[in-house]
């Protein structure tokens, strides 16, 4: 499972997006940005979506090991 915390990326957003794939989290993040008033999502914001998305399962494995 993948996760993206939108706070700090999309101004005014407090949503945490979760999905089974990176592409689905990314798609939902773009939709959220559009709902928050972005007609065109800036490239810098798209880059932050990619950079700050985490693989929750991988993080749990790191913590357990």
* Confidence class for position 60, pLDDT limits 50, 70, 90: low
Domain count, the chain: 1
User: pLDDT at residue 65 above 90?
Assistant: no
CA dihedral 5, 10, 13, 56 (to 10 degrees): -10
Lookup result for tokens 């999309």: 10
**Strands, E assignment, the chain:** 2-5, 16-19, 54-55
User: pLDDT at residue 53 above 80?
Assistant: yes
Domain that holds residue 47: 2-64
User: pLDDT tens, 8-47?
Assistant: 999 999 999 999 999 999 999 999 999 999 999 999 999 9
Going by C-beta distance under 8 Å and a sequence separation of 6 or more, which residues neighbour residue 24?
Answer: 2
Q: How many CA atoms lie within 13 A of 54 on its CB side?
A: 11
* Confidence class for position 57, pLDDT limits 50, 70, 90: confident
């Amino acid at each position: 499972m993948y996760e993206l915390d939108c706070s700090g990326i999309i101004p005014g957003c407090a949503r945490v997006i979760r999905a089974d794939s990176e592409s689905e989290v990314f798609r939902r993040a773009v939709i959220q940005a559009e709902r928050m008033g972005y007609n065109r999502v800036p490239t810098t914001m798209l880059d932050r979506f990619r950079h700050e998305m985490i693989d929750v399962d991988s993080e749990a494995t790191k913590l357990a090991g």
